[in-house]
Amino acid sequence: MQQTKRHLIPALLGLLVIAALALAGYLQSQAPDLPAIPELAVADFSQPVQEQLLAARAQLLEAPEDAQRNLELGRILHAYKLLPSAIVCYRRARLLQPEEFATVYLLGIAQIQVGDDAGATDNLRAALALNPDDAPARLRLGEVLFKGGKLEEARALFEALLKQQPDSAWAHHRLAQVLAALGDPAGAIDQNRRAIELYENFGAAQYALALAYRDRGELQLAEAHMARYREHPEQSPAHVDALLEALDALDISATAQVRRAKRLERAGRMQDALQALQQAVAVEPDSVEAHSQLVRMYHRFNDTGRAEQHYRAVTAIEPNAVMVNLEYGTLLAEQGRIADAATAFEKVLTADPDHSAAHTLLAQAREELQQPAEAERHYRLALDSDPNNHRAALLLGRLLMLGERHTEAEPFLELAGAAEPRERAFYLQRIAQVRHEAGQREQALAVLEQARAQAAELGQQYLLNEIMQTQTQWQESP
């Protein structure tokens, strides 16, 4: 019996080893065939960003079959627009955890961004299968389907989205595009009108309305919408998308912080915007854009000392930087430091000799410095660079009119009065003041009445009140 046990134990151990090896082989056969973890080229990034990227990759290397670590590296790569590598990580994460909505959705978004519409369509469909009520996935899938000519399916998605979110300006605009493609221009106009009711400065919707009204022969409406488009051609409502917002927050670069600051500023969150810009220069001390935006921000806060500090930082890197010299020159002019302001505007023209706004500002400085010939020269250069520079036309007309050169002044005042409809009342008011200063009382009153009518038509109440007060003063004075 004892001898039997001695032979049985090794046999059982052998069976256990064989079973263990078989189980290991079975488990290995069940592991997904993962693409290789991507190598990263980080030399072009700032040191903090390099450290962020390399740390995320190192964590993944410690546990390469951890779906969440694959997803996290993918998200960070996606945030920095390293899309091919992000897609590899998302695919690894999806193979490891197929039911994770965030992975499938972000993979679809990344594929849209690299132009893989077929892959994006498949993954966004899969995302909606996992979460049928997700509004961002509906919108993005609808956009890809519209682009691919699958109009009825796109229409169904946008209509479903509007039942879920009736105040989505994006959904109204996208549905308008589908309806226009389906030959329903009236329906498209209705949807785009609803889009701009929800977000007035929606450039793409304003442009679409301008073209639609032009095609219908309603030229006045077409002109009004085109004017609004030109004021805000790139502006659009923010996308409400928690996954993409979280993705954006992973980007700590100066460029991202500046972008974030502009968004916060538009929302009226000035202190948060300032904090984002300060973070931008902390991450990248040589960021010209971040320092330039801080000059502009401190100008708004009337903090001359800090504005000058960041102006010096920019000009140490790029002495003739255009935007910062324009901003700082304007700040100096407001403080009465006219000669210093002129120097800043001259630096802009060193970098860009045809910069119409800089010529206009320099001309104003020269006028205040009692250099009318130089002022006239720069006003004319401003108009040579941009014949539609109505401000330069007004100021040159004023300079000539007050210099008793009335005949020469007339064409420039006429040009100023032909400004875009939303600016026309303002310019007509200023032209009236020029004529009043030149002793042309009756003509001044006639132009001021045109300004009043224009402001009333466009509902510009503050300007209308100002014009009417001026009318009363001039009519009562001898």
Asked if 47-231 and 387-478 have one fold, the answer is yes
For residue 57, which of 41, 71, 73 has the smallest C-alpha distance?
73
Whole-number pLDDT of residue 476: 82
For 177, half-sphere exposure in the C-beta direction (CA atoms, 13 angstrom radius) is 21
- Tell me if the domain spanning 47-231 has CATH number 3.40.630.10: no
Whole-number pLDDT of residue 13: 37
Give dist(CA 154, CA 451) in Å, integer. 47
Over residues 70-116, the pLDDT tens digits come to 999 999 999 999 999 999 999 999 999 999 999 999 999 999 999 99
Region 186-207: what's the mean pLDDT? 97
Structure tokens at 192: 């785009």
Whole-number pLDDT of residue 477: 77
Over residues 54-72, the pLDDT tens digits come to 999 999 999 999 999 999 9
For 440, half-sphere exposure in the C-beta direction (CA atoms, 13 angstrom radius) is 17
Give dist(CA 173, CA 189) in Å, integer. 9
Task: Tell me the pTM.
Answer: 0.71
Q: What residues does each domain of the chain span? A: 47-231, 387-478
Over residues 199-254, the pLDDT tens digits come to 999 999 999 999 999 999 999 999 999 999 998 899 999 899 999 999 999 999 99
Give dist(CA 210, CA 28) in Å, integer. 62
Class of domain 387-478: mainly alpha
The DSSP annotation for 203-255 comes to HHHHHHHHHHHHHTT-HHHHHHHHHHHHHSTT--PPP--HHHHHHHHT--SHH
Over 70: is that where the pLDDT of 26 sits? no
Whole-number pLDDT of residue 478: 65
Give dist(CA 398, CA 359) in Å, integer. 16
In degrees, rounded to 5, the angle at the alpha carbon of residue 271 between the alpha carbons of residues 269 and 277 is: 105
- Using CA of residue 384, residue 387, residue 389, residue 390, what is the dihedral sign? positive
Region 16-38: what's the mean pLDDT? 54
Region 107-136: what's the mean pLDDT? 97
Decide: 60 and 77 in contact? Cβ < 8 Å.
no
Region 257-273: what's the mean pLDDT? 91
> Who wins on pLDDT, 29 or 357?
357
In degrees and rounded to multiples of 5, residue 206 shows phi and psi of -60, -40
Whole-number pLDDT of residue 267: 83
Whole-number pLDDT of residue 31: 52
